[in-house]
Amino acid sequence: MTQVFLELDHERPERLAPACGEAVLFSSKAYDKTTGNEDAALFCELPGSVTVLAVADGVGGLPAGAEAAATAIGAVRRAIERAVERAADRVADRAVHRGDYRGESDTLRSAIFDAFEDANAKLLEKGIGAATTLVVVEVRDGTARAYHAGDSGAILVGQRGRVRFETIPHSPVGYGVAAGMLEPSQTHHHEERHLLSNCVGSRDMRVEVGAPVKMAARDTLLLATDGVLENVERRVLIEQIRTGPLIQAATDLQARLRLTMASVDPKLPAHPDDATALLFRTAPDRVRGPVGIRLQAEPRERTPREGGSRDGARRGRR
């Protein structure tokens, strides 16, 4: 099952209904905008208890921001579909009863890289200067792994508030925090907070890939655009999402963002922007130890053709 979310304006968070766990999304345009929301998101469940999440933010001030974000999310969706089809083909050519799918982790990893490159090529071909951020996280076998370009980010938080991983924003301010030159609390006031050092739609685009990190049953994964990350303090963000019902965490987070953007929060300057947050927790029975990471595709049933050759009849779910 793949769900794509484009140009939304949620009044309240939307509860998704995955079989693999719990997921909640909100995506809203800036309150002072006359145009639409330039953020986009994706949530995908694959056979074998594999989940892929993605968020994109069309770069403001450049042409066709919403189209750029949609291009990136569409590239992720297509790449995943191709990966599942390739995995099904390979499974059909093996001794399926052995259940040996461990090599398929490379298939999904390659597909995600392909999505970044495909989206980048498409935006460059347009020749209008459109660009977007993109962050993708794959969750499988009790681990989470992030891929990103730009300042949309992902953070994995334990129930007690321990940060298991956090992406580094590809921006001067993000690099400053990573290098210890800036405190996270200083980023909200920094005059260069809006600058990007990397994005999809650039000839110099690069994709940063994190290591697979263990994801426990009660951990919370958040993917968010800078409209979220710039309008709430990091410590407050962690506190709000680490525990409690996920729908309530998303509701409280969205309410806090609105207060900040409306200049009600005395501690933070207002940065009105489109804001998208995708929160996810894995179902307890779906979390396993870091054994072989695999993309499981349902096998294609082999049927004989004329002349004695055999081919696979598609049975794979998307």
CA distance 221 to 228: 14
pLDDT at residue 270 tops 90: no
Tell me the two tokens of residue 236: 């407050």
pLDDT at residue 177 tops 70: yes
Rounded average pLDDT over 13-42? 93
CA distance 96 to 98: 5
In a domain, 311, yes or no: no
In a domain, 9, yes or no: yes
CA distance 295 to 90: 12
Looking at residue 309, its pLDDT comes to 38
Q: Residue 87 — pLDDT band, cuts 50, 70, 90?
A: confident
Least confident segment among 28-42, 124-138, 265-279: 265-279
Looking at residue 274, its pLDDT comes to 96
In a domain, 143, yes or no: yes
CA distances for 113 relative to 40, 116, 146, 150, 224, angstroms: 18, 5, 11, 15, 20
pTM, entire model: 0.84
pLDDT at residue 96 tops 70: no
pLDDT at residue 61 tops 90: no
Looking at residue 263, its pLDDT comes to 81
pLDDT at residue 299 tops 70: no
Looking at residue 193, its pLDDT comes to 67
In a domain, 208, yes or no: yes
In a domain, 91, yes or no: yes
Q: Residue 141 — pLDDT band, cuts 50, 70, 90?
A: confident
Q: Residue 310 — pLDDT band, cuts 50, 70, 90?
A: very low
Rounded average pLDDT over 304-309? 41
Q: Residue 287 — pLDDT band, cuts 50, 70, 90?
A: low
Residues 171, 174, 177, CA angle at the centre, nearest 5°? 150
In a domain, 181, yes or no: yes
Model pLDDT for residues 217-262, shown as the tens digit of each residue? 899 999 999 999 999 999 999 999 999 999 999 999 999 999 999 8
pLDDT at residue 82 tops 80: yes
User: Which CATH number covers residue 117?
Assistant: 3.60.40.10
CA distances for 154 relative to 66, 109, 138, 201, angstroms: 21, 17, 11, 20
Looking at residue 221, its pLDDT comes to 99
**Percent residues over pLDDT 90 in the chain:** 62
Q: Residue 194 — pLDDT band, cuts 50, 70, 90?
A: confident
In a domain, 35, yes or no: yes
**136 - beta bridge partners?**
54, 147
Show the domain range for 47: 2-300
Rounded average pLDDT over 261-274? 81
User: Total domain count for the chain?
Assistant: 1
